[in-house]
Amino acid sequence: MINCGFHVKSTLYNRKWFDLHHGLKTSYWDFRTYLQNHNLELLEFIEEHTDLASNQKTIWANFEENLSRLNMKKVLSSYSDYLPSLEDDYDKRDFDSFPQIIKDRVSEILEGLEESFRQFIKSIQYSDKAHINAIKLDSKARFLQFNYTPTLENLYNVKHNQIEYIHNSVLLDDILVLGHGENPKTIIKDTWSPPSHLYGKDLDIWKMEDGMSDDYTYREGESNFHSYYIKTRKESQQIIGNKRLFFDALSGIDDIHVFGHSLSQVDLPYFKEIIKSISSNVTWTVSYYDKKDIVNFERTLNNLGVNSKQLTFIPLSELQLSKNQLFLF
């Protein structure tokens, strides 16, 4: 989630920190709390079947990226009772239930995650004191908004047509984009499958003769689960293509301000596209929480093509100055 304001003189990025700074309960841990109260089954499923299940805080600290860590073997093992019984005669074995159960479960996970996250964002309340932590923003800026909330509109009276919601908004009727950045091919192993020309009785005979009937059923379940990794992936390049007009209009940018963003791998494609779209002499002001972040931030931006001489780093603690405002413009 990022807030990003573009102007000929300045550009501003704010990630999730922007909402948290104003007292909004928008962290992924807050989403966990929401699930605890509204969809406990989904919460327990995620935490029981994620590779990082031993550390809840680790799961939710980088929740989007950890969506790719849902352990397929753990999930499939949970439904092993639906695999064909070796005690039954071959012609009485149920080869369809297990793959179908996995397919249905994946659909339930995806639908539950999408709907729960939307309702979580819609439930977020702005307190009467939210404006106290307001910072000074350039009223003429354009904003590339990675957050899903209407904070810019509600607290800063930024016009809707100045904001580009890169991952959609709760104000819109579109699906909120939530996902990891892993290539599914690095997660999914090749699926065992029968020769493509076999079907009907010939396929049944092939399974029986190869002694692979039960393995085949399991593999079908694996194949059905693969759609989870594919559908939870954030298709950044497709999103960039959909926002082509916005990126093409960035050639006049002089300054970029990055506030509260972790420069995580999942969002780097957008930074790459921005850097491609702007002048090579644009200056960058980047906020950090811990001084240790500076080295990683500088290395990341260097790798994307930004010269260190163009970078200025500022601690998040300095974003709120006298009268609760930061005068950057």
d(C-alpha 327, C-alpha 143), whole Å = 17
Q: Any alpha helices (H) in 124-255, and if so which ranges?
A: 151-156, 184-187, 200-210, 213-231, 236-242, 244-248
Q: Which residue has the tokens 């759609």?
A: 227
Interstrand relation of 2-6 and 142-145 (parallel, antiparallel or unpaired): antiparallel
Q: Which residue has the tokens 């089954």?
A: 41
pLDDT tens-place values along the chain, 329 residues long: 334 444 444 555 555 677 887 889 999 999 999 999 999 999 999 999 998 756 788 899 889 989 999 999 899 999 988 887 665 555 556 778 899 999 999 999 999 999 999 999 999 999 888 887 777 777 777 788 888 998 888 888 888 888 888 999 988 878 899 999 888 888 876 555 666 666 777 776 666 555 444 577 888 899 999 999 999 999 999 999 999 999 998 888 888 888 778 888 888 999 999 999 998 889 998 888 789 999 999 999 999 999 999 999 988 767 653 343 333 32
